[in-house]
Amino acid sequence: MKIVLAGGGSGGHFYPLIAIAEQLRTMAEEEKILDMKLYYMSDVPYEKTALFENQITFVSATSGKRRLYSSFKNFTDLFKIATGVIQATLKMYYIYPDVVVAKGGYASFPALMAARILRIPVVIHESDSHPGRVNLWAGKFAKRIGVTYEDALAFFKEDRTAVVGMPIRKDLLQSAHEGAHEFLKLDANIPTIVVVGGSQGAENINDVVIDALPLLLPKYQIIHQVGKARESEVNSRVRVVVHDQSLLERYKVFGYFNPLATKMCAGAANIYISRAGATSIAEIANWGVPAILIPIPETNSHGDHQRKNAYHYAHAGAAIVMEEKNLSTTILAEEIDRVLSDPALQKSMSDAALRMAHPDAAKQMARIVLDIALSHEK
């Protein structure tokens, strides 16, 4: 049995595929499937460690990107896309998998086109309430489609589509409360704010949080993930903004959260401040942590998907949405104070988050994929 995973370009596309792969490995062991081979086709391996740990072979296929703004690269990337389709088709023919599983995004297009040319069954998963362009196209020929949000059902054929939630890696399904404060060198008696701007960081969020430190640090401690490229710059700026050394000790900067740090932060957090990517929201929901969501502005987001994700989640009572154009140090500090000063509100938001969680999403997607692969083998 051979299964190709396709996607990439961001952690939001890559890590749900890893979650599905984990469950496929578990099911193969339980069902005595001895010959399962997994492949990951994309332009870059994204995280080699995750591929190695799950025995996934990387297969390279060049890809280009269609940008939302006018750029000469939109023209030159057409040649990259064409090259990628040729590469993917030749490599896919050599592998000839039983099924291709795709998460959407520009990096999945060559593999999906190759699968269509070679008539290999396709399964896709859509993370957002408004599907991306590649998944909208792939949904026309995919055998099965899993979606995170009910709103996305309207874009796909009803008889092929099911709401499964967002696949999350096994080691991130549960937060780690025990030992979290010690691991992060935090005071267990002081409320903790965790700020996450995504794997690349979010410059506007970083700026507002840093400027708000004089208002926040006297009452709270903060874990701030700023992106690898900005860690040094943020540390320098913070020393200018905050002069009291005892308050500086309440502020911890991370360039990137590995899985262990993510679990520990989730266990220590009283509130999360995050972008509104579907993976981020799904993880926060599983942990049952109140959240303030700051979606990417519409001009930078196809279909305004982050904004729609955020309001869908907030409508359930699990989060507060702050538009980036309205973001300021005072408003952010006031919203944090409003939540952390009200235990009843925190409990209500936490309960709402847990009701929105889909801890079995990866297992459901893996079951769909495995059933199609088994039927294709016959």
CA distances 129 to 140, 152, 156, 255, 278, Å, are 17, 5, 12, 29, 9
My answer on whether 309 and 348 are in the same domain is: yes
My answer on whether 154 and 58 are in the same domain is: yes
My answer on whether 8 and 43 are in the same domain is: yes
CA 57/CA 136 separation, integer angstroms? 27
My answer on whether 349 and 238 are in the same domain is: yes
Residue with token string 């096994």: 170
My answer on whether 350 and 365 are in the same domain is: no
Distance linking the first and last C-alpha atoms of the chain: 11
Domain of 370, CATH number, reads 3.40.50.2000
The predicted model scores a pTM of 0.90
Residue with token string 């290999």: 120
CA 9/CA 17 separation, integer angstroms? 12
**Backbone dihedral region of 104: left (phi > 0), alpha (psi from -120 to 50 degrees) or beta?**
left
Residue 156 backbone dihedrals phi, psi, to 5 degrees:
-130, 165
My answer on whether 335 and 368 are in the same domain is: no
My answer on whether 193 and 282 are in the same domain is: yes
My answer on whether 149 and 17 are in the same domain is: yes
My answer on whether 215 and 232 are in the same domain is: yes
Q: Give me the tens of pLDDT residue by residue for the chain, a chain 378 residues long.
A: 999 999 877 788 899 999 999 999 999 999 999 899 999 999 999 999 999 999 999 999 987 665 454 555 655 667 788 998 999 999 999 999 999 999 988 899 999 999 999 999 999 999 998 898 999 999 999 999 999 999 899 999 999 999 999 999 999 999 999 999 999 999 999 999 999 975 555 788 989 999 999 999 999 999 999 988 888 888 889 989 998 888 999 999 998 898 999 999 999 999 999 999 899 999 999 999 999 999 988 665 556 888 999 999 999 999 999 999 999 999 999 999 999 999 999 999 999 999 999 999 999 999 999 999 998 766
CA 275/CA 191 separation, integer angstroms? 21
My answer on whether 363 and 315 are in the same domain is: no
Domain that holds residue 240: 174-356
My answer on whether 309 and 364 are in the same domain is: no
My answer on whether 135 and 196 are in the same domain is: no
Domains held by the chain: number: 2
Q: Counting every residue, how long is the chain?
A: 378
Contact between 20 and 5 under an 8 Å Cβ cutoff? The reply is yes
